[in-house]
Amino acid sequence: MTALLTSARTRPVGAPAPVDAADVVRRARRAPRRRHRLVVGGLGAALFVAFAARVLLGDYTVTIPDFFRILTGTDIPGASYIVLESKLPRAVLALLTGVAFGVAGGLFQTTLRNPLASPDIIGVNLGASAVAVVAIALWGWQGLSVSIAAIIGAITVALVVRLVAGPHGGHRLILVGIGAAAAMQSVIQYVFTRVDEYDAQLVLRWLTGSVNGVAWPTIRLLALVLLVLLPLTWWLGRSLQISELGDDTAAGLGVPGARSELLLLLGVVLCAVAVAAAGPIAFVSFLAGPIARALNGGRTTLLGSALAGAVIVVAADYLGSYLIPDTNLPVGVVTGAIGAPFLLWLLARGRTGRRAA
Amino acid sequence: MTSATAPATRLSASRLTLGYADRPIVTDLDLQVPNGKVTVIVGANACGKSTLLRGLARLLKPQSGAVLLDGEVIHRQPTKHVARILGLLPQNPIAPEGVTVVDLVGRGRHPHHGAFQRWTSVDDEAVAEALELTDTLGLADRVVDELSGGQRQRVWIAMALAQGTDLLLLDEPTTYLDVAHQVEMLDLLADLNARRGTTIVMVLHDLNLSARYADHLVALRDGAVVAEGTPRQVVTEDVVRTVFGLDNRVIDDPVSHTPLVVPVSRHLRQAQPPTQELP
Ligand SMILES: Nc1ncnc2c1ncn2[C@@H]1O[C@H](COP(=O)(O)OP(=O)(O)OP(=O)(O)O)[C@@H](O)[C@H]1O
Ligand SMILES: [Mg+2]
């Protein structure tokens, strides 16, 4: 019964493949790769432009030669201070937090297979923020210990949401997560009613996020942590394209489901350290993942998400500073204003999970 | 592997109990998958076929008992090592958005890549062969999301083939396929078995095709083996009635001379007296 019924359309097993079949494969594999390179190149260029604009332009313009002179140590009265203590740290912090939020968004949305299942929607960021606020305002913590408090907060909220919602990324996770986010928000608000000086700027930072007025040591700490976390994410994320095939197929290919859990945990920690430095900048993860994906023909790209996140934060901070004269909007207000309509659109479209099979 | 030294089975289950949470689905099941043969599992909906297949493929941890691969408990072997020996096509695989056919099929090569070693021309060849075998080479640069159900199913089978394993477990590989493609797919798997000696275990719903393609047939009911053996031993009117609760006749398949099940349906019985009046 075997081999006899082979029709003209299929080739018997073991017969040599014509040479051109492998060529077809090679050619077909090339197109998505080229597209990905274009996406990464394009987002990289956009980030460069946004970063340069943030550092050089605005209400105090710095020329490029002056900028490099300042960087190499020449003291230009006025300009040096503004660049080194205001514009540059803001831009660098915006870039770093954007990368962290972007990667976390890509990890969450891909692993949970749901664009709404982003850490900023399901309360991870606000969880980090709430515990950080408690640590700072009530316990007087500073520096690294605040980051650690934020990480503990983020992981706790993620675990609780996970336990209540069950292991899948469907509607339940989103609803429970939104509930958790609201609860965390009220914790933050409550803490601010308890502290003596009710500083509106500070409240805004911990509720919506801001890259304003952060000192270099905090930025350096974030950079160092990312220097460890991002290569680790890249290393573990190589199997993301297997994990995204679903638990059964992935396990069949030798990638255990525990790997996805680990990637989610990394996403949580990335968010937490970014929140500890700049607050829960709204909707960055939520926007970066889908934008990078859409540019990349619907396919997952962590590098794309990272760059998209950075572009969003750097550009939003620039817009927030100079869009409305004499008003310095925190970056989170701007990203919130961009993200909210997108959230509504996604909800209205009513397709939170992706098509099966 | 020479047949003189080959063991009769590389994959077996002993006193295997599988389930979800506390509810056992498959209970105390013993099964020896004959090496180099085509084994087909049949049974009614929800009797535990997929559960058993997932257990055999180490996707589900046994509540008791064990699955052995090459004489060792499968759950204790490195999962990537198992993935080079045993491939699985789940019942409802999920294609990520935007993924092209070559990309998806290429992911079947994952177990063959080490920590640093990436894609090589060997992988290109393996993917090309899998695409050709499943008649999907022409779809190579299409997006999987945008294919028909049958095309998609063939792409998934191509992915399992690209994995290049000695054992292949397939959960309803013929769903979504039209009758010609069903026969063709089963021919392909039979070919693979005959030429490469690939051991195949699959769940099928079509009893007649099962009887035609199986060397070894396993009938499940409520998570237990009701009958096991050659199609002629298993596909009898009694067994079909026990397993599916279906009144039936078994005749000889004029093409393959394997058993052919002809259902006796209620509708037919009612319609039998041609003179009967309609109410
Ligand atoms: N992930 C799960 N969690 C809980 N129960 C499950 C799960 N998967 C299957 N079951 C239950 O286990 C039983 C057997 O399911 P299984 O998928 O093994 O059936 P099957 O024989 O493959 O059926 P079908 O022919 O419909 O594919 C069913 O009652 C089903 O509801
Ligand atoms: Mg099933």
SS (H, E, C) chain A: CCCCCCCCCCCCCCCCCCHHHHHHHHHHHHHHHHHHHHHHHHHHHHHHHHHHHHHHCCCCCCCHHHHHHHHCCCCCCCHHHHHHHHHHHHHHHHHHHHHHHHHHHHHHHHHHCCCCCCCCCCCHHHHHHHHHHHHHHHCCCCCHHHHHHHHHHHHHHHHHHHHHHCCCCCHHHHHHHHHHHHHHHHHHHHHHHHCCCCCHHHHHHHHHCCCCCCCHHHHHHHHHHHHHHHHHHHHHHCCHHHHCCCHHHHHHCCCCCHHHHHHHHHHHHHHHHHHHHHCCCCCHHHHHHHHHHHHCCCCCCHHHHHHHHHHHHHHHHHHHHHCCCCCCCCHHHHHHHHHHHHHHHHHHHCCCCCCCC
Of A12, A21, A254, the CB nearest to B131: A21
Ligand 1 touching residue B19 (CB < 6 A): no
Amino acid B1: pLDDT: 44
Q: What is residue A16's predicted lDDT score, i.e. its pLDDT?
A: 61
Say if A11 is an interface residue toward chain B (CB within 8 Å): yes
Tell me the count of A-B CB pairs closer than 8 A.
166
Calpha distance A48→A314 (Å, rounded): 10
Q: How confident is the model at residue B268 (pLDDT cuts 50, 70, 90)?
A: low
| Phi, psi angles (nearest 5°) of residue A238 | -60, -30
Nearest to B125 among A22, A28, A239 (CB): A22
Distance CA B264, CA A294 (A): 53
Residue A74 carries which side chain, given as an amino acid letter? T
Q: How far is B218 from B52, CA to CA, in rounded Å?
A: 11
The confidence score (pLDDT) of residue A144 equals 79
Q: Which ligand is nearest to the CA of B90?
A: 2
* Residues in B touching A241 (Cβ below 8 Å): 96, 107
Q: What pLDDT score was predicted for residue B4?
A: 52
Using the beta-carbon criterion (under 8 Å), do B94 and A249 form an inter-chain contact? Answer: yes
Domain extents for chain A? 33-348
Indicate whether B252 pLDDT > 50.
yes
* Those residues with Cβ within 8 angstroms of residue B185's Cβ, 6 or more apart along the chain or in another chain: B134, B154, B157, B173, B174, B177
In one letter, which amino acid is A119? P
Please give the share of chain B, as a percent, with pLDDT higher than 90. 74
Complex ipTM value: 0.88
- The per-residue pLDDT of chain B, averaged, comes to 90
Chain B residue at shortest CA distance from A17: B129
For residue A355, what pLDDT is reported? 40
Would you state the pLDDT for residue A9?
A: 54
Contact B188 A355 (CB under 8 A): no
**A10 strand-pairing partners:** none
Does residue B272 have its Cβ closer than 6 Å to ligand 1? no
Contacts for A249 with CB less than 8 Å, ≥ 6 apart: A242, B88, B90, B93, B94
Distance CA A55, CA A269 (A): 28
Give the closest-approach CA distance of B75 to chain A in angstroms: 11
Q: For the ranges A125-134, A277-286, B5-14, B32-41, which has the lowest average pLDDT?
A: B5-14
Probe residue for ligand 1, chosen from B27, B40, B50 as the CB with the greatest number of ligand atoms within 8 Å: B50
Burial status of residue A26 (CB atoms within 10 A of its CB: 0-12, 13-18, 19 or more): middle
Q: Kindly state if the Cβ of B210 falls inside 6 Å of ligand 1.
A: no
Is B83 at the interface with chain A, CB within 8 A? Answer: yes
pLDDT value at position A174?
86
Contact B187 A113 (CB under 8 A): no
Relative to the alpha carbon of A248, which ligand is closest?
Answer: 1
Band the pLDDT of B3: cuts 50, 70, 90: very low
Ligand 1 pocket mutation, candidates B25, B88, B205, B218, criterion most atoms within 8 A of CB: B25
Ligand 2 centre distance from Cα of residue B45 (Å): 7
Which DSSP state fits B7? -
pLDDT of the residue at A115? 85
Stretch B89-111: mean pLDDT = 92
The closest-lying atom of ligand 1 relative to the alpha carbon of residue B52 is 18
Q: What is the H or E stretch that residue B232 is in? A: helix B231-234
What string of DSSP letters covers B134-188?
TT-GGGTTSBGGGS-HHHHHHHHHHHHHHT--SEEEEESTTTT--HHHHHHHHHH
CA B25 / ligand 2 centre spacing (Å) = 12
Q: Whose CA is nearest to atom 11 of ligand 1?
A: B46
Note whether B151 contacts A: Cβ–Cβ < 8 A: no
Q: How confident is the model at residue B27 (pLDDT cuts 50, 70, 90)?
A: very high
- Are A25 and B59 an interchain contact pair (Cβ–Cβ within 8 Å)? no
CATH architecture of the domain covering A33-348? Orthogonal Bundle (1.10)
Q: How buried is residue B113: exposed, middle or buried, by Cβ count under 10 Å (0-12/13-18/19+)?
A: middle
Q: Which chain B residues touch A10 with a CB distance below 8 Å?
A: 132-135, 184, 187-188
Ligand 1 centroid–CA B48 distance in Å is: 6
Residue A181: the pLDDT is: 92
- What is the pTM (predicted TM-score) of this model? 0.84
**Nearest-angstrom CA–CA distance, B88 and B60:** 13
The mean pLDDT of B82-111, rounded to a whole number, is 93
* Cα-to-centroid distance, B50 and ligand 1 (Å): 7
How many Cα atoms occupy the beta-carbon half-sphere of A279 within 13 Å?
Answer: 26
CB < 8 Å from A in window 178-217 of B: 183-184, 187-188, 190-196, 212-213
3-state secondary structure of B35: coil
Point out the residues of chain A with pLDDT beneath 50: 1-8, 352-357
> Cα(A15) to centroid of ligand 1, in Å?
39
